[in-house]
Amino acid sequence: VAMGGMYPGGLVGDWILATPGGELEHHEYRSQVDFSSAVIHEGSPETEFRQRPDKELDFKFFNSTMKFDDGGNFEIWTFESETSGRKFPAPLARVTEGQIFHGTVHPGKEVHTIHWHGVEPDPRNDGVGHTSFEVTGQYTYQWQPEPGRPGDPNVGAAGNYFYHCHVNTPLHVQLGMFGPLVIDPVAHPDFPVSPGARRAFVDGPEYDIDTEAILAPYAVDPRWNELGHAAGLSGEDVGLDKFEPSHFYLLGGELAHPQEEDGPRQLSRIRANVTSADRKPTLLRFVNATFIRVNAHFTDAAGKPVEMAELISHDGRPYRDTSSPTGACPPTCDTDSPLVTDVINVGAAERYDIILNPPSPGDYVLTVELMKWTSDTVIASRNIAIIAR
């Protein structure tokens, strides 16, 4: 025990030595200390403790000049799979809780990684280059999202994420090296799922599969597109603290109806179900892929705010009522205080899962504003039609 305050600042009054225990069981995985002490800087290592995957996807680097709807032509760096075609953002990765996932990156140009933003696997498979390794030829990341339990806020991984390169991160992400990542919940007998629907998390609300959509605001500062792969990594100031976008886009689309043609996937409208006994609501997955914050406003056709956006998850974690110190923690959507709003402020890399609840059939508008770093000045804005039927 320690005397005179917090140990080790206090004087040591007495030590009681524990009885020596038996031999510790051999642990299969090296500790982070062991891993870090022997980690390579870059290369193509074998995946440790590789298991048979339930889902696997290849991510092959490519660069291509793409034309956007405002006439802008920019060289985009991103990933493609065997079947995705050359689209931007990179292809959707979709996994169910409990499944073993393999994602193999093929850098192609210099070194790259894939970081599974918000998933938090072990360091070998997290894809943060400067705390693990940067990939030269190829590497297969392996991870397994934890299954959720109803009413338990401490377990489960179902939700809205994204993946991106974590080498020279600000530059590579802004050049396009990112894509959506969705983790679906395990099925639970107490929470059956209706035909044509999914649950957002294990005990979360049901939503309509056919109209599920993703929205990813994205901005371009053309000066950044002139920089090289490793710009700024040697200590030189290349201005990566000065992001001055002159082009603003809303990327995304309906996940059940992917775009067929190559090029940028720009969202022009959202279908939103008016909920009824046989129609589940629409889920909008919002991922801020810009370097700065955005505001999202939901209005009617005349510009009047409409509280039709119900927030059910943030950064892959469900909103729950945790007021009971001993009981279950139900989703806020099942309480008397659901999180309903007409405006959302979203920071860089933040994600929200939003149930759309239009009050009646009709036309609505989602306005997304790109905000200045240090003030409430709107740099640019875009509108998307919400068609409620």
Q: What is the DSSP letter of 266?
A: B
Q: Write out pLDDT tens, residues 46-70.
A: 999 999 999 999 999 999 999 999 9
Residue at 32 is within a domain? no
- More confident: 7 or 120: 120
**CA distance linking residue 119 with residue 97, whole number of Å:** 11
Residue at 33 is within a domain? no
Q: Write out pLDDT tens, residues 12-31.
A: 444 455 455 555 555 466 77
Q: Write out pLDDT tens, residues 167-193.
A: 999 999 999 999 999 999 999 999 999
Single-letter amino acid, residue 161: Y
Residue at 146 is within a domain? yes
Kindly calculate the radius of gyration of the chain based on its CA atoms and give it in whole angstroms: 23
Domain CATH number, residue 146: 2.60.40.420
Q: Which residues of 20-39 are buried (b: 16+ CB within 10 A; e: fewer)?
A: eeeeeeeeeeeeeeebeeee
The CA-atom distances, in angstroms, between 130 and each of 107, 112, 116, 163, 267 are 16, 11, 15, 17, 34
The model's pTM is 0.91
Residue 108's domain comprises 40-229+245-321+329-388
Residue 343 dihedral angles phi and psi, to the nearest 5°: -145, 140
Residue at 270 is within a domain? yes
Residue at 1 is within a domain? no
Residue at 22 is within a domain? no
Sorting pLDDT into bands at 50, 70 and 90, what band is 6? Answer: very low
Residue at 304 is within a domain? yes
Predicted local confidence at residue 109, as pLDDT:
77
Over residues 302-315, mean pLDDT:
99
Over residues 313-323, mean pLDDT:
97
What is the enclosing helix (H) or strand (E) of 32?
helix 32-37
Residue at 382 is within a domain? yes
Predicted local confidence at residue 20, as pLDDT:
56
* Number of structural domains the chain divides into: 1
